[in-house]
Amino acid sequence: MPLSGIRVIDVGNFLAGPYAASILGEFGAEVLKVEHPIGGDPMRRFGTPTTRHDATLAWLSEARNRKSVTIDLRQREGVELFLKLVAKSDVLIENFRPGTMEEWGLSWPVLREANPGLVMLRVSGYGQTGPYRRRSGFAHIAHAFGGLSYLAGFPGETPVLPGTAPLGDYMASLFGAIGILLALRHKEKTGRGQVIDVGIYEAVFRLLDEIAPAYGLFGKIREREGSGSFIAVPHGHFRTKDDKWVAIACTTDKMFERLAEAMERPELASPELYGDQRKRLAARDTVNQITIEWVGSLTREEVMRRCLEKEVPVGPLNSIADIFEDEHFRARGNLACVEAEGVGGVVVPNVVPTLSETPGRITNLGPPLGNATYEVFRELLNISADEIKRLRSRKII
């Protein structure tokens, strides 16, 4: 495995940051989830419960490939143990409110002294610097602050959630994982570690194509666009006769020509009518209406078949039930069924991305609280069994 031999400490809560550890774990890193001895990561209680009291479905899926080690960082002895663990690790991931680690005596200078090669990912709502750094921020807040939520919904109407609540947590983690992998490379060359500082809102904002330069240069404020887009027509969601939905995206004139053929109205793509994107954009409502009527006259299966025949970019708006039925998801192995201790088989999304030589894998789902505490303290830190017992009785671990 490409990351075998890399040890990662994930001391974060929920997803923003910890998901970066999941990815590293999928490709071979050893991930130690360091949790509070009482209750552990609140992610264990977030979402739909299972037969196991310490694990929701979200926890089982996203805390994959980890070992759980309990340490109370609010106790001095806990901090000392944690530093010993840091000395034997390569990567540390945290997402406390900025200043929290410092309060516990775990500032970057202290951590770096314990391990000069340490790579540390810090994820927070607003980043480690700037006037809002102390504000609490979750993905929901970051979607709003970063400019994404303003754009989701119909023009002039209520802005809706941009699909899923924790999207920004995933995005921040993806950027975080990139930062870690870059920093590991630098460390291999120089021996020096460093800090990666990600604000969740920044991860969201970075992905908004030309919104910043268009305002900077032309004062253009992008508004909500409903199911469409400013770049092309038709480019949106359309309801079929059987009350399902399809997405159609004609980004170029060629694709509109294909759609016109699929509709058996090739004349629509003539230069006098709507063959030109500029003309379509100018006649947006008319072109959309034509598409709405055609799609509304057929079942989803029929629309899909006719569009695919002409190579029109089209896709069903899949619910999760549709996804479980889909042959392509099955063929790509996107749904993995993994045995979870005390629960049985759980279907979870499989590893992304797919590597040809060194594919990732899921070794286990979210672990029981503290399942590796003894093993890690005994074997990695060489602490005696008696001492472990004492630490346990004092609820330090």
Partner 1 sequence: MDGHESNLPLAGIRVIDAATVVAAPFCATLLGEFGADVLKVEHPLGGDALRRFGTPTFRDGDTLTWLSEARNKRSVTLNLQHPDGARIFKELAAKSDVLCENFRPGTLEKWGLGWDVLSQINPRLIMLRVTGYGQTGPYKDRPGFARIAHAVGGISYLAGMPKGTPVTPGSTTLGDYMTGLYGCIGVLIALHYREKTGRGQYIDAALYESVFRCSDELVPAYGMYKKVRERHGPHHNDFACPHGHFQTKDGKWVAISCATDKLFARLAKAMGRPELASSSIYGDQKVRLQHANDVNEIVRDWCSSLTRAEVLERCYATATPAAPLNDIADIFGDRQFHARRNLVAIDVDNTGETIIVPNVVPKLSETPGRIKSLGPRLGEHTEEVLKDLLGMSDAEIGELRARRVI
Task: Write down the least CB distance from residue 369 to partner 1, Å.
Answer: 19
Name which of residues 1 to 20 contact partner 1 (CB under 8 A).
2-3, 15
Give the one residue of 83, 110, 114, 249 binding partner 1; rule: CB under 8 A.
249
The answer to whether the beta carbons of residues 81 and 381 sit under 8 Å apart is: yes
Of 83-91, 250-258, 268-276, 378-386, the window that binds partner 1 (rule: CB under 8 A) is: 250-258
Would you say how long the chain is, in residues? Answer: 397
Name which of residues 338 to 397 contact partner 1 (CB under 8 A).
346-349, 352-358
Pairing verdict, β 66-70 and 91-94: unpaired
Question: From CA 227, how far away is CA 177, in angstroms rounded?
Answer: 32
Question: From CA 96, how far away is CA 1, in angstroms rounded?
Answer: 30
Give the one residue of 107, 129, 286, 384 binding partner 1; rule: CB under 8 A.
129
Pairing verdict, β 7-10 and 91-94: parallel
Q: Quick one: tokens of 19? A: 């998901």
The answer to whether the beta carbons of residues 342 and 368 sit under 8 Å apart is: yes
298 binds partner 1 (CB under 8 A): no
Give the one residue of 16, 85, 203, 233 binding partner 1; rule: CB under 8 A.
203
Give the one residue of 216, 266, 296, 342 binding partner 1; rule: CB under 8 A.
216
Contact letters for partner 1, residues 34-53 (x by CB under 8 A):
--------x---xxx-x---
Task: Write down the least CB distance from residue 391 to partner 1, Å.
Answer: 28
Q: Indicate if 41 belongs to the active site.
A: no
Catalytic residue among 10, 169, 197, 253: 169
Cα Rg of the chain (Å, integer): 25
170 binds partner 1 (CB under 8 A): yes
Judged by beta carbon, residue 214 or residue 298, the one nearer partner 1 is 214
Task: Write down the least CB distance from residue 294 to partner 1, Å.
Answer: 16
Among residues 385, 339, 378, the alpha carbon closest in space to that of 362 is found at 339
Helix (H) or strand (E) holding 197: strand 194-199
Of 70-78, 82-90, 227-235, 294-302, the window that binds partner 1 (rule: CB under 8 A) is: 227-235
Calculate the CA 179 to chain-centre distance. 15
DSSP secondary structure of 38-59: TT--GGGGSSSB-SSTT-BHHH
Give the one residue of 214, 273, 380, 381 binding partner 1; rule: CB under 8 A.
214
Number of C-beta neighbours around residue 390 at 10 A: 14
Number of C-beta neighbours around residue 86 at 10 A: 24
Contact letters for partner 1, residues 253-272 (x by CB under 8 A):
--x-----------------
Give the one residue of 76, 242, 297, 337 binding partner 1; rule: CB under 8 A.
337
Name which of residues 64 to 123 contact partner 1 (CB under 8 A).
none
Task: Write down the least CB distance from residue 196 to partner 1, Å.
Answer: 5
Beta bridge partners of 123: 198
* Catalytic residue annotation: 169
